[in-house]
Structure 1
């Protein structure tokens, strides 16, 4: 079986470009901006079943647009991911304004982005949900490469 005829299925590595849009058609994300396609592995648990089902059967060169509801995209916002932080935890030179995205250092050295939802007195509300959580989205994909991984 040649690579060109391989259809996306279980245990495939897929390289694709995608354009991600909100329901109103406004752009949310695109791999084309920096010309860096995304790489994903079918069945590794990083994608929802419905997202994978939309990719199944596609081959190199195929283009497809599909809608995903919030549960199948970035999930619904989780209230446990919203924290109230004391203003004193921010440095004096960090402007804290509603709508800002600030990277917070994690114990392992990685950074987690949080959106400032409100500032009231000494309390700053920070939302660590994915910015697109709760949104129904349209994915426009173009398949660049498909490889069968060894089991």
Structure 2
């Protein structure tokens, strides 16, 4: 038996675990604010220059829920994926906001709200913290990821599937 297909009906390669993939993307918060994009860099201090999101499916390079959502996609296909906080950076944990006495900082240290600092833990590992509030006697540092507690929406367009090296 011969099966006939019209032009465009043949199945194209689909994303599977182990594939190396490239996506054009726009990442937004629930209110529509764009926080990342492959089109351009949205951070003045960033030198990434934009460009497609590239990763190997199954290598834990992106959120597992995002990997699961792209399985089966074909080149040129578009998909919108919304991740809950638990599928992305987790819920905010107010225990992650700590008050540090101003005396712990050097006198000549110029500190600003939203500034990122690196804290050294007891294990000598560096942890990021953001300056949440500057008070007269204390400075509040937030060790939560800035996107913790946020629902994230990714608008994806698959541009390439290749074999992982």
- TM-score interval for Structure 1 and Structure 2 normalised by the shorter chain: 0.7 to 0.9
Verify: 1:10 aligned to 2:24, yes or no.
no
Task: Flag the structure with larger Rg.
Answer: 2
Which residue in 1 is equivalent to 2:142?
127
CA distance in 2, matches of 1:112, 1:32: 29
Judging by fraction of residues, say which structure has more strand. Answer: 1
Verify: 1:102 aligned to 2:116, yes or no.
yes
| Two-structure CA RMSD over aligned residues (Å) | 2.7
Go from structure 1 to structure 2 and tell me whether the alpha carbon gap of 1:135 and 1:52 turns closer, same or farther (over 3 Å shift): same
Go from structure 1 to structure 2 and tell me whether the alpha carbon gap of 1:94 and 1:39 turns closer, same or farther (over 3 Å shift): farther
Q: Is the 8 A contact 1:23 1:138 kept in 2?
A: yes
Range 51-60 or range 77-86, more displaced? 77-86
CA distance in 1, matches of 2:120, 2:51: 26
Go from structure 1 to structure 2 and tell me whether the alpha carbon gap of 1:101 and 1:111 turns closer, same or farther (over 3 Å shift): farther
CA distance in 1, matches of 2:24, 2:104: 39
Go from structure 1 to structure 2 and tell me whether the alpha carbon gap of 1:102 and 1:89 turns closer, same or farther (over 3 Å shift): farther
Which residue in 2 is equivalent to 1:148?
163
Q: Is the 8 A contact 1:101 1:113 kept in 2?
A: no
TM-score by length of 2: 0.72
TM-score by length of 1: 0.77
| C-alpha displacement of 1:93 | 4.8
Candidates 37, 53, 77, aligned match of 1:62 = 77
